[in-house]
Chains A and B, each alone.
Chain A
Amino acid sequence: MVRAVLRNVFLKSLREQRAALAWWAVGVIALCLMTVAFYPSMRDSRGMAEYFEEAPEWIKTVMGDPSEFTTPTGYLNGELFFMMVPILFLIFAISRGSGAIAGEEQAGTLDLLLSNPLSRRRVLLEKAASMLAALLGLGLALWVGLALGAAAVGMDISLLRLADACFSGVLLGAVFGSLALALGCASGRRGLTIGVTAALGVGTFFLKSLAPLIESLEVWGKLSPFYYYDAAQPLKNGLSWAHAAVLAGAAAFFVALSVFLFDRRDIAV
């Protein structure tokens, strides 16, 4: 068992994350179940929608149409997919992306790993693949949690649409995870990488959220990965292939950039 799992860098990196991934999955599933459990009382209270009717216009622009808030998609978007899911995916992905190279470099184990007959590109791609696999695992946990919750309280939502929205989260995570990978490859410093990537995450989140409010920012909002994450409303309309392709393309670009940067650099002791 252990022998097979230690066959290559990809499997070994995945194995290293198994405990973390298990805890994340438990947490995410619990969060989904709790959130969905409150849905019936939300749906049945008329007051909520009225409360939102009176909300200022800018809140409606950012959060969506309040009359939608008591529908299953509206509820899940507002409670989970608008902010909570991106936060979780970003934390998870940035932690993995920054650890893959910069973390191992600071721990000093990169010397040993790179003294094997593997090219740096190969090591990096296997580590990027293991990060992606872990993100898919987290996405799966999110989907399972929501599907279980929906079944338990009789929430009327398509499992396929749920999968679309979860996958959009995975792609968003892949963008920031691979950005952290690239910054880690450039700097070799994990703390710095986490800080800069998280700051970019917060910045681009607000960029996308505020852009619709300010005319001069409107176009700039499309520079934010968060725009491609949920502007097309995957939970309601299904995955927009164009938007998904932008996210996947950005992630692929950052991985390629990582290879480029990592290949050229001195490994620190």
Chain B
Amino acid sequence: MDGVAVKAEKLTKFYGRTRGVVDLDLEVRRGEVFGYLGPNGAGKTTTIRLLLDLIRPTRGRAEVLGLDSRRDGVAIRGRIGYLPGELALYDRMTGGELLRYLANLRGGADWGYVESLAERLQCDLSARIKSLSKGNKQKIGLIQAFIHHPELLVLDEPTSGLDPLMQHEFHRLVREMTEEGTTFFISSHNLPEVERISDRVGIVREGTLVAVDDVDSLKRKALRRLEIHFASPVPREAFAGIAGVRDLAVDGVTLRCTVAGSVDALIKAAARFEVLNVVSPEVSLEEIFIDYYHGEGRAP
């Protein structure tokens, strides 16, 4: 058993002439939480469905848990748990019936575990799925992925539709399972979330893997937008030339800029004045990608 849970080699998928992913080389190590980050349409779902053998590569290949994604699909799917990105469940069943059914297709399950998961996620298993909210359906989707204690979990945007409390509970579940050695491959278009739960991050943009990095170094490079409100007007010169600060704009009492990596120097410079408020509007992924794109994604 080597240390690789997922491996893609020149994995490429075109839908007719539409690009899905192109020449993807990817390695997810056993035991890690790999965050697969990219904006909508980047190719995350395409990659994941290729791994599950739901769609077939145009060229290239993928290995999951050391098995070939095309040839050994049944064996692979027996050992992984999957949460579809566009989750659709059997509406006319109750959550409990659906989970029983899916467990039976895997040769049965420890029902006590299912119930404990349902309890932690506050999920009512007796209600018809048709009547559930999107968030509650998502919970059923998560439970079914965990039901058989898989070695590898492939989760496509798992927290979409979950309220913040449940997102937090989900993060705790991920942590607990990683301690038992479970590997996670989690796609997301949400940087803060990926930063919070991943060990490593792969950034995908327009079908290509732009960068793979430890989450710590991603944090060091990530762009943050800052807005600082002062009590009285501040001079622009006081902030010029601080490392990592870009797009600096000082407009009387308000400073706006983008910071790459640590905000430490900027904050220390600001502390010389009376600060009323610090606001950090979320940076769009697109901006982060542009940075990566120019930075290390492709040779110019």
Contacts and interface: CB of A to CB of B under 8 A. Distances in A.
A6 B97 contact: yes
Given A115-B77, A266-B56, A108 B105 contact: no
A119 B74 contact: yes
Interface in A96-138: 107-109, 111-112, 114-119
A8 B100 contact: no
A16 B49 CA distance: 27
A242 interface: no
B197 interface: no
Q: Which 8 pairs from chain A and chain B are nearest by CB?
A: A108-B88, A117-B78, A266-B55, A6-B101, A115-B82, A116-B105, A111-B84, A117-B77
Contact of B104 (A7, A109, A269): A7
Contacts of B15: 266
A87 to B, nearest CB: 27
Nearest to B80: A115
Interface in A1-37: 2-3, 6-9, 12, 16
A118 B90 CA distance: 18
A108 B77 CA distance: 18
Contacts of A118: 74, 77, 105
Nearest to A109: B88
A267 interface: yes
A109 B90 contact: yes
B89 interface: yes
Interface in B43-94: 45, 49, 52, 54-56, 73-75, 77-78, 82, 84-90, 92
B188 interface: no
Report which residue of A9, A16, A107, A112 has the largest number of chain B beta carbons within 10 angstroms of its beta carbon: A112
B73 A119 contact: yes
A115 B84 contact: yes
A8 B105 CA distance: 6
A111 B82 CA distance: 9
B41 to A, nearest CB: 13
Given A112-B89, A114-B54, A6 B100 contact: yes
A166 to B, nearest CB: 30
Given A6-B100, A111-B54, A117 B106 contact: yes
A8 B84 contact: no
27 contacts: A2-B100, A3-B104, A6-B97, A6-B100, A6-B101, A6-B104, A7-B104, A8-B105, A12-B101, A109-B90, A111-B52, A111-B86, A112-B87, A112-B88, A112-B89, A112-B144, A114-B54, A115-B52, A115-B82, A116-B77, A116-B105, A117-B106, A264-B56, A266-B15, A267-B54, A269-B45, A269-B49
Contacts of A117: 74-75, 77-78, 105-106
Nearest to A265: B56
Contacts of A16: 92
A2 B97 contact: yes
Interface string A239-269: 0000000000000000000000000101101
A38 to B, nearest CB: 39
Contacts of A115: 52, 54, 77, 82, 84
A9 B88 contact: no
A267 B104 contact: no
Nearest to A112: B84
B78 A108 contact: no
Contacts of A9: 105
B102 interface: yes
Interface string B7-48: 000000001000000000000000000000000000001000
A110 to B, nearest CB: 8
B54 A266 contact: yes
Contacts of A116: 77, 102, 105-106
Contacts of B105: 8-9, 116-118
A30 to B, nearest CB: 26
Contacts of A107: 88
Contacts of A7: 104
B86 A108 contact: yes
A167 B86 CA distance: 42
A8 B100 CA distance: 10
A156 to B, nearest CB: 45
